[in-house]
Amino acid sequence: MSSIKLESNPSGSGIFTIASPNSNTNRTLTIPDATGTIDRLNRAGNVLQVVNATYGTLTTSTTASFADTGLTATITPSNTSSKILVLVNCCGLSKSANNTYMGLRLLRDSTTIFLFATQAGFTGGSVQSSWGGDGTNYLDSPATTSATTYKIQMNNAAATGTVTINDGTSLNGSTITLMEIAA
């Protein structure tokens, strides 16, 4: 039968207490049969929380000015050193029968942090077209523990005709996922 041995560190002066929870149920903690350190939740690279949002409302633009698409999500980081991995999938993109194309950008609160499409849907001609979508993965360092909103804006880069997001995607729509990563 194996046994458990606790060894003190001769240079340390702290006392470590192993306390059991207030429970009326027997529990078993199985220690892995490997050398190493028991993982901490906030170890660098661990995912601390995930926030996901879906937006399926058809949204159009006829102007070169960027405007909100409605695709947005908010996360409150647990530590100022955490990174936020932003995963975006904009679906149901289309353009009218004009020589136009779409721009898409990612914002943290009101600050643009990444322009991930500048000529989405460009055909070089005045034909109506649709394409599956566009998206990005972006690792951000917001350096805050306050609620932080990430959102997608679009524009009609050529300012002729109409560009559309969520065209024909009423069932599912576009998605944005925020993952807090421990640093």
47-181: CATH topology is Jelly Rolls (2.60.120)
Predicted confidence band of residue 168 (pLDDT cuts 50, 70, 90): confident
The three-state (H, E, C) secondary structure of 77-143, written as one string? CCCCCCEEEEEEEEEEEEECCCCCCEEEEEEECCEEEEEEEEEECCCCCCCCEEEEEEEEEEEECCC
| pTM of this structure | 0.79
Please report, for the chain, the start and end positions of each structural domain, with discontinuous segments joined by +: 47-181
Of the candidate ranges 28-37, 96-105, 111-120, 151-160, the one whose mean pLDDT is the lowest: 28-37
Q: Mean of the pLDDT values across residues 90-109?
A: 91
Using the predicted structure, report yes or no on whether residue 4 has a pLDDT greater than 90.
Answer: no
